[in-house]
């Protein structure tokens, strides 16, 4: 297996669980984004983040911009429906934050449980509010669940295999 630096930003613990599952599957060094340095000595970096205004949270966006010339896996947790336009667009916004010459190897998303106070606030929103239209926040209770974490581990294995291919071909 490759040498992974696994960086995450988590407020409620959702993204941390996904990052831990990634590490459990392929090994690596797990660190909070606040404590993360450069990925020197690693083959790649997996970056987990929560969505803020349709993209990675501010701490993660700043970290992504500091990366240069590395292989990256992106992992996001959110309250939207999986594979929604919102979550897909967020990957593009995260990739746009990356520094020069980075290669996105793979992406992973899953719902994260929205705190009860936020669910209560969203339940009171006007019908035309984008957050009221999405049902993801209502369905987020219990996520990431065991199935989500199993998918995160499979994602890690697939991504590690892809990285090994690039490293073998000399595309490091």
Cβ neighbours around 112 below 10 Å, total: 26
**SS3 of residue 9 by DSSP:** coil
CATH classification at residue 157? 3.40.50.360
Please give the model's pTM, rounded to 2 decimal places.
0.89
Residue 17 is given by DSSP the state H
Range of the domain at 46: 4-168
Answer whether 77's CB lies under 8 Å from 51's CB: yes
β-sheet bridge partners, residue 30: 6
Taking only the tens place, the pLDDT of each residue in 60-109 is 999 999 999 999 999 999 877 777 787 889 999 999 999 999 999 999 99
Taking only the tens place, the pLDDT of each residue in 144-171 is 999 999 999 999 999 999 999 999 987 5
Number of domains in the chain: 1
Residues contacting 15, CB < 8 A, separation 6+: 8, 9, 48, 49, 50, 75, 76, 77, 112
């Amino acid at each position: 297996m490759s040498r992974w630096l696994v960086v995450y930003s988590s407020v409620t613990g959702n993204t941390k669980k996904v990052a831990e599952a990634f590490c459990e599957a392929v090994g690596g060094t797990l660190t909070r984004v606040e404590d993360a340095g450069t990925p020197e000595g690693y083959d790649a970096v997996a970056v987990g983040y929560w969505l803020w205004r349709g993209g990675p949270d501010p701490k993660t966006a700043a970290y992504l911009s500091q990366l240069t010339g590395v292989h990256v896996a992106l992992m996001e947790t959110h309250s939207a429906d999986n594979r929604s336009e919102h979550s897909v667009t967020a990957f593009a916004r995260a990739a746009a934050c990356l520094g020069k010459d980075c290669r996105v190897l793979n992406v992973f998303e899953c719902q994260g449980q929205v705190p009860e106070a936020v669910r209560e606030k969203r339940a009171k929103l006007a019908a035309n509010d984008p957050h009221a239209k999405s049902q993801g926040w209502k369905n987020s209770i219990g996520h990431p669940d065991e199935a989500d974490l199993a998918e995160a581990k499979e994602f890690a294995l697939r991504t590690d295999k892809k990285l090994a291919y690039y490293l073998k071909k000399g595309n490091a």
